[in-house]
Amino acid sequence: MKCYKSKWILTCENEVLENMALVVDEGKIVDIIPNDSVNFEEKHVKDLGNALITPGFIDMLTQYQYTNIGKIKPDSFKTKLKGFFKTIALKYNFAGVKSDNYSLKWANILSEYFLMDRSEKIKAFEDGVNASIAAGTTCIAQVSGEFKFFDVINHLPIKNYLFFEVFADSSQKSKRQFKDMRNKIEDLIMHKGENTHIGIMLNSISGVHKKLWELFSKYCRKHNMLLLTRFAESQDEMEWLEHGFSDIDLLHKYMGMRKISPYEKDLDPVDYLEKLKVLSRKVITANANYLEPDELDRLSKSEVSYIYQPEYSEEICNKKLDFATVLKYFPQRFGFSSQSFEKDKDFSMLRVALDANKDDIIDIEELIKYLTIYPAKILRLDNVTGSIKIGKDADFNVFKLEDGETYKDLVKKHNPYSTYSKGRKIVKRGDLRFNL
């Protein structure tokens, strides 16, 4: 048993505690008591002093496999030659397309990723995980169509969701993809650890054939499984819906896919998924950057949850919803993602949230809930994490405060001093205390 005394505890249960201590046993919070009532043996007490305890942070969409994009230079002649042909293919497929085009940006990202070998991809994944945990993240929602990352994520000391991403360009491929993915997932469920949860990521409206939407939405409803999708995030996708074609077709061609056409024209993105009977409270949508107010209103009323990716949206999608709009349409039903393709990205969830709230639209107590309890509820993990509460896992961050500072001064911080997952200290002063 261990006791952690702190000046402040931000519980995310609608109360801020002062001069209280967490009592942790076997990874669980078993009590919360006044500091002056602590009577444990000294060796079992950690006096954090003038510090703030918060729940651990939750990152709602990560793609750690891309962490080292732009940092790795090919060494071997074979890889350089492969890169040469990839560059030629890019120039051929995207001739005349502007450099800020969404589809071209993703083609460039994928081109670099395809040149990485297996060990480089695994290292990139591990580098991203390590940076996130060092920044106070104790739960992630990772998106990938590759099964090679399962062993890494399944042994993490933090909670995780692995959303397997699928594409399909025809009814036949949809059936085959569904069967293969279903069999693989059901096998992995038998081998996953207690920290690991599995969901489905249907890439996007324009990247998934109607048949695959129908198969997986039905499967997820039957098995009570979460379904995630990128949604109305680019102008290319909106033009594809309107005209039946756009530059997104060039990206699909580059990826080896045939042209996909909308199953019906003149539908807005919300109509498109509503007619497929996809939208429900078990669905999580990311971005929605190009929706009109009435579309956002209808999306909100469908009870889906939302992922706010402000940095990714600006960098790749050329547009983002402002924070006030997100709060208006998805109150208490969204979480943040730290995803970015900047070379100096730091994966700090706290920084992303504070940047979004730079105009102080909501107070710090409410803002932290969008990094903790609200995303925990979306991922259906709020029974074990997301807040400081007796009976929950001891997933928490410790922020050191200066003399005279209070919990409100969390707005001046960036990364925590230390991070705990199930009562185990996994970060101290930015240094990781575990090995992957």
Count of Cβ atoms closer than 10 Å to residue 193 Cβ: 10
Task: Reduce the DSSP state of residue 418 to 3 states and report it.
Answer: strand
Instruction: Please enumerate in sequence order all residues whose Cβ is within 8 A of that of 274, keeping only pairs 6 or more positions apart, or say none.
Output: 298, 302
Return d(Cα 215, Cα 168) in angstroms, integer.
12
> Residue 89: its pLDDT value, please?
74
Return d(Cα 126, Cα 236) in angstroms, integer.
32
Residues 133/153, Cβ–Cβ less than 8 Å: no
Show the DSSP H helices in 290-408 as ranges.
293-301, 310-312, 323-329, 349-356, 364-369, 373-378
Give Cα separations from 65 to 43, 100, 145, 304, 435 (angstroms): 41, 23, 11, 27, 18
Return d(Cα 427, Cα 44) in angstroms, integer.
19
pTM of the shown model: 0.96
Residues 23/30, Cβ–Cβ less than 8 Å: yes
Taking only the tens of pLDDT, the chain with its 436 residues reads 999 999 999 999 999 999 999 999 999 999 999 999 999 899 999 999 999 999 999 999 999 999 999 887 767 666 666 676 577 778 878 999 999 999 999 999 999 999 899 999 999 999 999 999 999 999 999 999 999 999 999 999 999 999 999 999 999 999 999 999 999 999 999 999 999 999 999 999 999 999 999 999 999 999 999 999 999 999 999 999 999 999 999 999 999 999 999 999 889 999 999 999 999 999 999 999 999 999 999 999 999 999 999 999 999 999 999 999 999 999 999 999 999 999 888 999 999 999 999 999 999 999 999 999 999 999 999 999 999 999 999 999 999 999 999 999 999 998 999 999 999 999 999 999 998 7
Only one residue has tokens 């994490």, namely 385
Domains and CATH numbers, the chain: 2-55+387-432 (2.30.40.10), 58-378 (3.20.20.140)
Write out 71-133 in H/E/C secondary structure.
CCCCCCHHHHHHHHHHHHHHHHHCCCCCCCCHHHHHHHHHHHHHCCCHHHHHHHHHHHHHHHH
> Residue 74: its pLDDT value, please?
65
Bridge partner list, 431: 428
Residues 51/399, Cβ–Cβ less than 8 Å: yes
β-pairing verdict for 334-336 and 159-166 = unpaired
Task: Reduce the DSSP state of residue 40 to 3 states and report it.
Answer: coil
